[in-house]
Structure 1
Amino acid sequence: MSECFKVVLSQTAPAAHWGNADVSFAADTVTIHVKSSQPLRQIQMAARKLRSQGINTIAFSGEGWDADRQWSFYQGFVTAKGGHEVQWTGAEVLVRELQQRAASAGFARDLINDTPENLYPVKLASDTAAWLSSLVPEHVSYRIISGDELLKNQWIGIHAVGRGSERQPAMLELDYNPFDTDAPVAVALVGKGITFDSGGYSLKSSEGMLGMKADMGGAATVAAALGLAIQRGLKKRIKLYLCCAENLVSGHAYKLGDILTYKNGTTVEVVNTDAEGRLVLADGLQAASESGARFIIDAATLTGAAVMAVSGQYNAIFSPQPEVLALTQKKAAAVAENVWPLPLDPWHKDACPSAYADTANSRAVKGGGPGGASNAAGFLWRFVTPQADWLHIDLAAAFEDNATSLWAAGATTHGMLTIAELLGNE
């Protein structure tokens, strides 16, 4: 058997001795018999089957391999352990696009799958800055604010969530400006970068805590999307804000009943230390608002409620502007990613009341109570300037705790392409 298998697509049924199988073999050739009304899903599932059978190197061959089909196969083929090789096919521009996607997704996947011991807040910020700077050194500048310097800059949420750890919390402020002038900021990206989430004093179970190295998936996703857009030749000024912390228990950790006073004057009672993502994002959204960006996008592995609502097959999206939701759905469909809008009304801002502060960071019930994903979005809305369009992405599809028929265990990078499309030059 050859080390590299050619993979071809066919609309015909396999030979009778293969039964109802949708994958057949002949020497060094694998044929995927596309018989579904959802070919991308079938192709991705076929890729998972091939990888699980020990096939590590493939080359696409024959006709029908457009960008969506090659990328769907790739997403099913990669694993956290690596050791895969895919040889793309098609015109030079198509191959280059797929190579750029793979490089950007690989950056995000490596971060998300890394151990929390290796990837701590300042390292997440510095590794991201180094990678984006390496793409276009002349157009990227940044600073990392860490430790008590966060308080001097009034980034109260990141500091509070991260102060329980011996490893300092940090905010990455990165500026991509492809122009020679002080151009206006077109888009500001904000990512949740919780490198490990124990839940704090609202302690998670062992089962619930095991996958929490992935709680920085929002930061990795927005950074990878920006990197992909830069490689595509993006001609817009973009600012990136990563809100990085470890949420741990110690004598220095923030506690239930604490009240945080944010830079914009909003006071927040902490009723659940495991609702920490929205506390750090509040700082990032204020920084994004200060940038003057016309469009603000944040992404976060924020709520279990979003997973319950849309499953791990979709990312949930929220915006006060219907046109933003429509644009996001259009852009996601163009790259075969799945998004679904959930409710966000002005009254969601007040869905977590407090007797002691302007708002609580959650409801003091398990999972935040009914409508938890919308309530979290309503909380974040308090920190977004009304002068900007705003999109909040709750990344329900960013990570798989266990292997499925579509994904290997670990990071999926689902959402990266949607955000990169939203950054596009048109």
Structure 2
Amino acid sequence: MSSALAIYLTQEAPASYWNPKSNLVFGENKAQIILVEDEAENLRRIQKAGRTLDNTGAVTIEAAGSDWSLERQWALSQGFTSTLSTNQVIWNKTDEPAVKELDAMREATRFSRELTNLSAEEIYPESLAQRVTEHFKALAPDAISAEFIKGEALKDAGWMGIYTVGRASQHAPGLLVLDYNPTGDENAPVETALIGKGITYDSGGYSIKPSEGMLAMKCDMGGAATVSGALSLAIRRGLNKRVKLILCCAENMIDGRAYKLGDIIRYKNGLTVEVVNTDAEGRLVLADGLQAAGEFGAKQIIDAATLTGAAQMAVGNEYNALFSVDEVAATKALANADKENELLWRLPLAPWHSENCPSAFADTANSRPQKGGGAGGASNAAGFLLRFAPNSGKGWLHFDLAGAYQKSATSMWATGATAAGVRTIAATVQGD
């Protein structure tokens, strides 16, 4: 007897004893997913069937028959992925290149999910940096070097956003700069800088979150996990360009040293920021990452963050939101999302959004003193980041990861991290 439940695809209607609306029916040692004419709907049906199979208690399934494309198999895997990543999909063996790509996608997204799903007791700034560094040194040992600047050394180096947000925690904040340089030339240009928000736990600081709002805040380093997973996938796909991975790592906690509302942060580039909301901390640490990317002379800059509730209000938990003032870069990112079958929606960002958080005491505030930052909160957060983006935002993409984490299971996803965005960012790093 096979050790895996065989899953077939069919367009035949289910037998009369099944509900005619059923998209998954069972037979002896097998199950069938009922397809329709529209392929986009088929991928949704397949992913939902994967969730149903997980809920039945199946732990190993196999894509059987001749109708499995790469995207259909990936949809099945996405639905069948359990929160603790113990399930397994055996790929259809008829297309070996697809099997290789599916393996790469599975390993990279599993790495991203596991990082995000671990508790804040296990993932804190330094341990996050260590896990990411170890992953890449195992993946590409001859092409990786890394530096982690932490604690008071951040202040000495001028990385005041990360230092200020994280100074109240028992776990020192830090900036990880990981250099993937497959060229062997130490003077090779940096083609892309990947910047990730690595807030390993977010209490909200003195703008403290309610208890229910804190429950999922181990996922606030989802941006760091997403760009790390994206670089991992790009390397597995044969990336031969130099990339800097910059993770801005801190715990946003409360004690007598915590930063307060009304404090002024002076950044390395001279800009001053008034803190009007300590729960708008992600943009404060990403500002350092953007400045670091500028110092490295990166041609393309991509940041990713679980940044605003406003983005979730706009696009829901199914899409990620994209912001950019570079039309060419944004168009390419959206095309990559379509190619990689990930949901990405562009929201407004204009240069004047950088002026939408005014301060009487500094060059800008980090938000507006209103719930959720007020109207247009996601665009205003992106506008804040635009102040720090090199070259007035040319070549810069900001991903607000509204779809990175599910607080509870849905018909499409298990509870926890989704790794949504990993494929799109990997393709954008790879380029033409």
Q: Taking structure 2 as the reference length, what is the TM-score of the superposition?
A: 0.97
Deviations 1:318-359 (A, max 9, x none): 000112221111100111100000000111001000000000
Amino acid paired to 1:416: V
**355, 363, 386: which one aligns with 1:358:** 363
Task: Tell me if the contact between 1:34 and 1:42 (Cα under 8 Å) persists in the aligned partners.
Answer: yes
Distance in 1, Cα, partners of 2:332 & 2:164: 35
CA-CA distance at 1:133 after TM superposition:
1.3
CA-CA distance at 1:83 after TM superposition:
2.2
Structure 1 equivalent of residue 17 of structure 2: 17
Structure 2 equivalent of residue 419 of structure 1: 425
Alignment of 1:146 with 2:150, yes or no, is: yes
Q: Which stretch shows the higher mean deviation, 32-41 or 255-264?
A: 32-41
Deviations 1:359-414 (A, max 9, x none): 00000011100000000000000111117410000000000000000000000000
Q: Secondary structure at the match of 2:62?
A: strand
Distance in 2, Cα, partners of 1:238 & 1:160: 27
Q: Secondary structure at the match of 1:402?
A: coil
CA-CA distance at 1:81 after TM superposition:
2.2
Q: Secondary structure at the match of 2:335?
A: helix
Alignment of 1:52 with 2:55, yes or no, is: yes
Alignment of 1:74 with 2:80, yes or no, is: no
CA-CA distance at 1:289 after TM superposition:
1.1
Structure 1 equivalent of residue 169 of structure 2: 165
Gaps of 5+ in 2: none
CA-CA distance at 1:71 after TM superposition:
0.9
Amino acid paired to 2:30: T
**215, 218, 221: which one aligns with 2:223:** 218
Gaps of 5+ in 1: none
Structure 2 equivalent of residue 96 of structure 1: 100
Structure 2 equivalent of residue 108 of structure 1: 112
Alignment of 1:389 with 2:395, yes or no, is: yes
Alignment of 1:64 with 2:70, yes or no, is: no
Q: Which stretch shows the higher mean deviation, 364-373 or 15-24?
A: 15-24
Deviations 1:89-135 (A, max 9, x none): 13222111111111111111111000001111111011101101111
Amino acid paired to 1:56: V
Distance in 2, Cα, partners of 1:25 & 1:269: 60
Distance in 1, Cα, partners of 2:86 & 2:159: 41
Q: Secondary structure at the match of 1:312?
A: coil
Structure 2 equivalent of residue 275 of structure 1: 280
Cα root mean square deviation, aligned: 1.1
CA-CA distance at 1:2 after TM superposition:
6.2
Alignment of 1:254 with 2:255, yes or no, is: no
Structure 2 equivalent of residue 7 of structure 1: 7
1:194-205 equivalence runs, <5 A: 194-205=199-210
Task: Tell me if the contact between 2:61 and 2:89 (Cα under 8 Å) persists in the aligned partners.
Answer: yes
Task: Tell me if the contact between 1:185 and 1:294 (Cα under 8 Å) persists in the aligned partners.
Answer: yes
Task: Tell me if the contact between 1:270 and 1:360 (Cα under 8 Å) persists in the aligned partners.
Answer: yes
Amino acid paired to 2:66: E
Structure 2 equivalent of residue 177 of structure 1: 181
Distance in 2, Cα, partners of 1:425 & 1:412: 24
Task: Tell me if the contact between 1:109 and 1:413 (Cα under 8 Å) persists in the aligned partners.
Answer: yes
1:229-308 equivalence runs, <5 A: 229-308=234-313
Q: Which stretch shows the higher mean deviation, 383-392 or 306-315?
A: 383-392
Deviations 1:27-54 (A, max 9, x none): 1111000126311111101110111111
Task: Tell me if the contact between 2:85 and 2:110 (Cα under 8 Å) persists in the aligned partners.
Answer: no
Task: Tell me if the contact between 1:235 and 1:425 (Cα under 8 Å) persists in the aligned partners.
Answer: no
Alpha carbons of 1:356 and 1:254: their partners in 2 closer, same or farther (altered >3 Å)? Answer: same
Alignment of 1:314 with 2:319, yes or no, is: yes
Alignment of 1:122 with 2:126, yes or no, is: yes
Distance in 2, Cα, partners of 1:81 & 1:381: 37
Q: Which stretch shows the higher mean deviation, 14-23 or 99-108?
A: 14-23
Amino acid paired to 1:292: G
CA-CA distance at 1:19 after TM superposition:
2.1
Amino acid paired to 1:163: R
Structure 1 equivalent of residue 410 of structure 2: 404
Distance in 1, Cα, partners of 2:98 & 2:69: 8
CA-CA distance at 1:138 after TM superposition:
0.6
Q: Report how many residues are paired.
A: 426
CA-CA distance at 1:72 after TM superposition:
1.1
**136, 139, 157: which one aligns with 2:140:** 136
Q: Secondary structure at the match of 2:163?
A: helix
Paired-residue identity, %:
53
Structure 2 equivalent of residue 34 of structure 1: 35
Structure 1 residue runs of 4 or more that deviate by more than 6 Å after TM superposition:
none
Distance in 2, Cα, partners of 1:68 & 1:374: 32
CA-CA distance at 1:3 after TM superposition:
4.9
Structure 1 equivalent of residue 194 of structure 2: 189
Q: Taking structure 1 as the reference length, what is the TM-score of the superposition?
A: 0.98
Task: Tell me if the contact between 2:143 and 2:184 (Cα under 8 Å) persists in the aligned partners.
Answer: no
CA-CA distance at 1:294 after TM superposition:
0.8
Structure 2 equivalent of residue 348 of structure 1: 353
